[in-house]
Amino acid sequence: MNDRLKTIVDLEKYPIQDLNSPKIKEIINKCKTDLDKFSCATIPNFILSKSLKIMNTELEKQVDEVFMSKKSINAYLYSKDDPSLPKNHPKRIFMDRDNGYLNSDLFSKDSEMKFLYEQEELLKFVSACLGISPIYRWADPLACHAYNVMRPEGILPWHFDSCEFTLSLMIQKPEKGGIFEYCPNIREPGNENFEEVKKVIDGDRTKVRQLKLEPGDLQIFKGRFTLHRVTKIEGNRSRYLCIPAYVLDPWRVNTPEHSKAIYGKVLPIHLERNKERADGLAD
Ligand SMILES: [Fe+2]
């Protein structure tokens, strides 16, 4: 194990370097149960406070380089209407979005977050919690471990992620609002479940759950199959999160459309690897 990892993760509480230790086995079991049931698991105070400060500082240093996107968007991350679909189809419902990313390719070489993402210990721990192996780090050079910035009044409407599994690492909480809401297991490979998706977008709260994350907490989340959103940021403080992502396909990256809309640019890799998804889900 690299010595730097123990300055970032609370390895006393969460010995992810030794997946056979009873302590971590118990945590993995709890996460697996929560992920199976709710598509989501939380590990409190995973990151040490000193490291959290380093992450906060490295983001604030580059906060002017954050790409903010304010396009109105549907739950499948598109802003283009498809008039061939029925008028009330969820793909034709567009919602306000005001959300930004510090793209992963802008991170400094010795970045705290980038280092953490590249550790095998973290990947193996997440894989064990999910009960899925192998999983891979995302090949998308812009999105793989981006910092997410939501400024006052910022909002992230209902959507599905392109990557299968997302970690959310809370760095700075807003004064109010900015609550993560999600509907577990609403779609699965081969089944979009448009009817239920539409109900949630229209305001049905029956299946909606809320998650309160504190700075330092780590969330593991099945974002491709779980409709989710972040409510409006209230007060003057921005919400900072890091979103390292894991995938089932080590080759795939974001579509050129998503990359342009969400991360502000398209790289050759996005064009070269723009193929149909194997799971048949809208993307
Ligand atoms: Fe998301």
Residue 1, pLDDT > 90, answer no
Q: What does the pLDDT average to over 206-224?
A: 95
23 CA from centroid of ligand 1 (Å): 30
165 CA from centroid of ligand 1 (Å): 10
Residue 34, pLDDT > 90, answer yes
- pLDDT tens-digit series, residues 144-200: 999 999 999 999 999 999 899 999 999 999 999 999 999 998 999 989 999 999 999
160 CA from centroid of ligand 1 (Å): 6
49 CA from centroid of ligand 1 (Å): 25
223 CA from centroid of ligand 1 (Å): 6
Band (pLDDT 50/70/90 cuts) for residue 2 is: confident
- What pLDDT is attached to residue 97? 93
Band (pLDDT 50/70/90 cuts) for residue 279 is: confident
Higher-confidence residue: 282 or 17?
Answer: 17
Which residues have CB less than 5 Å away from ligand 1 (the ion)?
161, 223
Higher-confidence residue: 71 or 210?
Answer: 210
Residue 14, pLDDT > 90, answer yes
Residue 246, pLDDT > 90, answer yes
Mean pLDDT of the chain: 95
Residue 51, pLDDT > 90, answer yes
CA nearest 76: which of 61, 90, 58, 65?
90
